[in-house]
Structure 1
Amino acid sequence: MSSPRRLAAIGALLAVVAAAALVTLVLAGRTTAGVAAATAAFLVLLAALAFLAVTVRRLDGKAHRIDLRVKKYEAELARTTTALRAIDTRLGLLVQAVEESAARRAEDIGAILASLGEDRVNAMARAREVEELRAEVRALAGDGG
């Protein structure tokens, strides 16, 4: 189909030819001015109707292209939403794994600290025993000498 500009140019040319034909008919006395005016008004209405039809067709085409774009963006949004859900699920699993790892580390650290505490308490008790033994040895050495 021709472009709207080409159609407008053809319509303008036909309007000039029709106006010239009506003027020629009126001047030749073949028709009255009233009939020529009514015919011209009818032709103007037909031209306006054709213009509206072309305009509506163009608007419909634009609306269709916009609709296609919206559908494309909706499909992209759906894919993005699906990807985000998958990422959210993975993040949830990672958070859970990190929390479990942190809990295990806390238990391990607690066990290590408890072990160190026991070792320290045992070491302090042994240190007292050694001190007592030294004191006894000194006392015995002092009595023997």
Structure 2
Amino acid sequence: MLLVLAGLLTFGAAAAGAGFAVTLAALALLLLTVRRVDGKAHRIDLRMKKHEAELARATAAIKNLDSRLELLVQAVEESAARRADDIGAILASLGEDRVHAMTRAREVEELREEVRALAKGLA
């Protein structure tokens, strides 16, 4: 403004210079805003990569646990099958013993009847 009053600069040139300064200030503000948004986007991107890495580790750990769990399930099923076979054999053995005991009880009862009949015959 002083240059216009002093006559060193025309009013049009001063207006053009002021417009250029305002445009330059607006561009600087726009640049700062874009850099700020870019910084936030970069931090968000880093956070996303961190979470993706954690998710990949968790997925790998879950797969490892799943494979171990499958091995344990298989071992438990095999153990249960062996136990079922053992219990079946024990029950079969007990059943045979019971059948033999019942046969012996009948034989003993028949012998008692014969002894009673002989005792009555002698009496």
Distance in 1, matches of 2:116 and 2:11, equals: 150
Asked if 1:38 is matched to 2:13, the reply is no
CA offset at residue 117 of structure 1? 1.1
CA RMSD in angstroms comes to: 1.3
The Cα of 1:32 is off from its aligned counterpart by: 2.5
Task: Give, in angstroms, the shift of residue 24 of structure 1.
Answer: 1.3
Q: 4+ residue stretches of structure 1 with deviation over 3 A? A: none
Within 2, Cα distance between the matches of 1:33 and 1:119? Answer: 126
Gaps of at least 5 residues in structure 2 are: none
Larger RCO (CA under 8 A, 6+ residues apart)? 1
1:28 — aligned with what? 6
Deviation at 1:34, TM superposition (A): 2.1
- The reply to whether residue 75 of structure 1 matches residue 72 of structure 2 is no
Aligned equivalent of 1:97, options 68, 75, 89: 75
Q: Percent identity between the aligned chains?
A: 74
Return the letter of the residue paired with 1:29: G
* Corresponding residue pairs, total: 123
- Deviations along 1:72-111, whole A, 9 cap, x unmatched? 1111111111111110011101111111111111111111
Match of 2:63 in 1: 85
Query: Which amino acid is 1:25 matched to?
Result: L
Task: Give the distance between the partners of 1:118 and 1:87, measured in 2 at CA.
Answer: 46
Q: Give unmatched runs, 5+ long, in structure 1.
A: 1-22
Higher mean C-alpha displacement, 106-115 vs 127-136: 106-115
Aligned residue runs from structure 1 range 1-145, under 5 A: 23-145=1-123
Cα drift, residue 28 of structure 1: 2.0
My pick for the range that moved more, 70-79 or 124-133, is: 70-79
Question: Residue 138 of structure 1 aligns to which amino acid in structure 2?
Answer: R
TM-score, with structure 2 as normaliser: 0.91
Q: What residue number does 1:18 align with?
A: none
Task: Return the offset for 1:33.
Answer: 2.3
Paired amino acid for 2:6? A
TM-score, with length taken from structure 1: 0.78
Distance (Å, rounded) in 2 between the aligned partners of 1:35 and 1:45: 15
